[in-house]
């Protein structure tokens, strides 16, 4: 198994890229060695005959041993099925450790892992697919599934699963999925994957900081503004609300979207026509709330373009932020023992707003068309790998939940005592009830083929223009609506 880093690819140029990166595994064969010493010069005839016989026997034995060793090594290598697994860069060391454990259980399968930076992931993968670089199993997300599936790069896992040797039928896993996780992995009515992790974008706050200042946990965005202004006026910190928005990845969009869902937002009608550009729409109102928070009330971090989720977590841990909206697993990172002096003080609350809904999603393991085209042996190896990594009874999903606090797509994991203990440690006592309640209100609107392209425009252009006041919220959302029409027609 090897772990290789992929070079970032320009979003403007990846479709022009032609080429392939191939990972090659080498096989080493063991050989024998033979040492021969002669007798002194002028040997007698008897000694010569004996030496010749001994030499012949030894040479034959050594040659046979070397040939047998080489043949055994070659046969072992030939019996291995090679698969290539592509991931984005999150705790790659743990991924590689999980791969080693898998290969120890399945010595007939060899796995090559390739990883790429999260912001470059869509471009890197499209380059791979269009250049036919080997990919058998890959991470995927609801943001790109429709595009990859419609292009024929990934296949419905449900169409292949039960034709191969597995521990549990596919229905066993589908019936255990939480609704928004399953929805995230469906395209054209078929389930394409098993969840790598499944989570929500949720509201989180410093419980001790609010309590020490006599402040209640806010339940709507007017109350969030009020709490932030009071903390600012008391001199606790200049920017109590920390915004993640680097303008370069889907999480930026989803932090804004999830907050708008809290007031009942839906971005599209049943025909995917835009609703968000109406001044009375919750998405419009929340984007205006952010703009006012940055420029008018100065309670929202103005350097949001520096705020990767990990930077927000560091700022919360340093006491320079009191409230934020992030993917839920980041709260576990903030509360991890030793992560900061404030670790253990951070809590989840229901998303502020009238409905308290939020964005729910699943990232998944996909089987590629390339793996299927390689034949039954490669497909079996890929499915065996996916079940070990993505099945509800496998050690991998549980380890992500217990060790890293990642959300999970299977309801049965809530009943695991180790998972329950980890939730109490990383999210706070009783957090499982809030997590279940919030998960029950999670929304996953459809993600058509054009969604990823449109999202990229929103994240990189329209929303940053609104946040920086280069454009008004009205004009920025009009440009999002216009771009949506272009993306749909294309």
Each residue's pLDDT tens digit in the chain (490 positions)? 444 444 333 333 333 332 333 232 332 333 332 222 333 333 333 333 333 434 444 444 444 444 444 444 443 555 899 999 999 999 999 999 999 999 999 999 999 999 999 989 999 999 999 999 999 999 999 989 999 999 999 999 999 999 999 999 999 999 999 999 999 999 999 999 999 999 999 999 999 999 999 999 999 999 999 999 999 999 999 999 999 999 998 999 999 999 999 999 999 999 999 999 999 999 999 999 999 999 999 999 999 999 999 999 999 999 999 999 999 999 999 999 999 999 999 999 999 999 999 999 999 999 999 999 999 999 999 999 999 999 999 899 999 999 999 999 999 999 999 999 999 989 988 898 999 999 999 998 888 999 989 999 999 999 999 999 999 999 999 999 999 999 999 8
For the question of whether the overall pTM of this predicted structure is more than 0.85, the answer is: no
The residues of the chain that CATH labels 3.40.190.10 are 80-198+362-419, 201-360+439-489
CATH number of the structural domain 201-360+439-489: 3.40.190.10
Does domain 80-198+362-419 bear CATH number 3.40.190.10? yes
Cβ(85)–Cβ(23) under 8 Å?
A: no
């Amino acid at each position: 198994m090897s772990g290789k880093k992929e070079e970032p690819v320009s979003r403007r140029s990846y479709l022009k890229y032609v080429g392939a990166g191939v990972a090659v595994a080498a096989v080493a064969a063991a050989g024998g060695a033979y040492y021969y010493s002669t007798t002194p010069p002028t040997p007698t005839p008897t000694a010569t005959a004996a030496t010749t016989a001994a030499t012949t026997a030894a040479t034959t034995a050594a040659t046979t041993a070397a040939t047998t060793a080489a043949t055994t090594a070659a046969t072992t290598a030939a019996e291995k099925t090679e698969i290539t697994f592509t991931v984005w860069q999150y705790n790659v060391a743990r991924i590689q450790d999980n791969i080693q454990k898998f290969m120890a259980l399945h010595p007939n399968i060899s796995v090559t892992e390739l990883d790429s930076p999260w912001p470059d992931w869509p471009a890197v993968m499209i380059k791979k697919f269009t250049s036919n670089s080997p990919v058998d199993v890959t991470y995927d997300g609801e943001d790109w599934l429709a595009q990859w599936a419609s292009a024929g790069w990934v296949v419905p896992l449900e169409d292949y699963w039960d034709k191969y040797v597995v521990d549990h039928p596919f229905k066993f896993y589908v019936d255990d999925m939480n609704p928004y996780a399953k929805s995230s992995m469906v395209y054209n009515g078929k389930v394409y994957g098993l969840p790598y992790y499944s989570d929500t974008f949720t509201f989180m706050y410093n419980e001790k900081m609010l309590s020490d200042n006599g402040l209640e946990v806010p339940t709507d965005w007017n109350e969030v503004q009020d709490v932030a202004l009071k903390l600012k006026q008391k001199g606790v910190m200049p920017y109590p609300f920390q915004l993640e928005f680097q303008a370069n990845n889907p999480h930026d969009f989803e932090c804004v979207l999830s907050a708008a869902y809290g007031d009942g937002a839906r971005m599209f009608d049943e025909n995917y026509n835009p609703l968000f550009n109406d001044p009375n729409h919750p998405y419009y109102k929340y984007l205006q709330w952010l703009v006012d928070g940055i420029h008018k009330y100065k309670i929202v971090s103005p350097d949001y373009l520096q705020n990767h989720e990990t930077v927000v977590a560091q700022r919360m841990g340093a006491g320079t932020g009191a409230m934020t909206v992030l993917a839920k697993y980041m709260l576990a990172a903030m509360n991890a023992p030793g992560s900061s002096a404030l670790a253990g003080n951070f809590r989840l609350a229901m998303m502020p707003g009238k409905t308290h809904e939020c964005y729910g999603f699943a990232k998944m393991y996909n089987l590629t068309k390339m793996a299927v085209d390689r034949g039954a042996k490669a497909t079996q190896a890929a499915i065996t790998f996916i079940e070990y990594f993505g099945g509800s009874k496998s050690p991998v999903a549980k380890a992500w939940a217990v060790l890293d606090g990642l959300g999970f797509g299977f309801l049965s994991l809530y009943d695991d005592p180790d998972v329950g203990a980890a939730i109490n440690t990383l999210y706070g006592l009783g957090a499982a009830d809030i997590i279940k309640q919030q998960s029950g209100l999670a929304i996953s609107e459809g993600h058509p083929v054009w969604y990823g392209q449109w999202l990229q425009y929103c994240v990189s252009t329209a929303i940053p223009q609104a946040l920086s006041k280069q454009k008004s919220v009205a004009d920025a959302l009009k440009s999002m609506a216009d771009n949506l029409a272009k993306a749909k027609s294309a």
